[in-house]
Copies of this chain bind each other. A is one copy, B any other.
Amino acid sequence: MPESWFLNKMEKLEEIRKIYEELKTVQMVKKRECLFRRKSFLQLEKYKCLLHNGKTIFREKILKNHKEGNAAIILPITENGEYILAIEPRVFTKDTVDIGFPAGYIEEDENPRRAAIRELEEETGYQPESLEFVGSYYPDQGCSGACNYYYIARNCKKIGTQHLDEGEFIKYVLVTEEELEKIVNLGMIKGLNSAYLLERVKNRKEKR
């Protein structure tokens, strides 16, 4: 491999780093809040941001329960090789119900891994033997600081019963790999989080 190849790689990354430097935020000031009068799950905030390039931009931020709204999403496989799917009301979607992988918000002072185990247990009563972290991504960078953490939970065993919060109505089903494929092919998985995890798992398999 010629030396110039390395030089070019470095030049491209250098170019990107220069743009990062130019566009980074050097000062951020909260200008306004928007709250419901009564207790609510969602809040909004307005910010004025000074960029390193001297420009000022205004951005609005969504908060969930006065926090960023970080979430854990878990693809659970039982000790018998079945997948666990959760079905719950999704009132703002076309079907008003959706099927996908268990997920939930990370609580304050809780690490993502612990949240993943807790949410899986609350929604299904299953506990994994091992939990593999597959990545973390911002689902809505333009309007939120929320970060989603993705896991594959293997050899899950039933250790108790489902125990949900008030106003949560979640049913879970165990499906074989063939049944999961059928559900995917029918286009029943409509949430981006579940779709991302499915693609990740597919990629693993094809590499084997």
Contact = CB atoms under 8 A, between A and B. Distances in A.
B195 A137 contact: yes
Given A92-B145, A175-B12, A192 B139 contact: yes
Interface in A48-95: 49, 51, 53, 55, 57-62, 64, 87-93, 95
A133 interface: no
A184 to B, nearest CB: 11
The number of times this chain is found in the oligomer is: 2
**Interface extent on A, as a size class?**
35 or more
A15 B173 contact: yes
Interface of A: 9, 12-13, 15-16, 19-20, 22-25, 28, 32, 34-38, 40-42, 44, 46-47, 49, 51, 53, 55, 57-62, 64, 87-93, 95-99, 135, 137-145, 148, 167, 169, 171, 173, 175, 178-179, 182-183, 188, 190-193, 195-196, 199-200, 202-203, 206-207
13 contacts: A9-B182, A13-B182, A16-B188, A19-B173, A51-B89, A55-B169, A57-B89, A140-B140, A141-B191, A148-B192, A196-B196, A199-B202, A203-B203
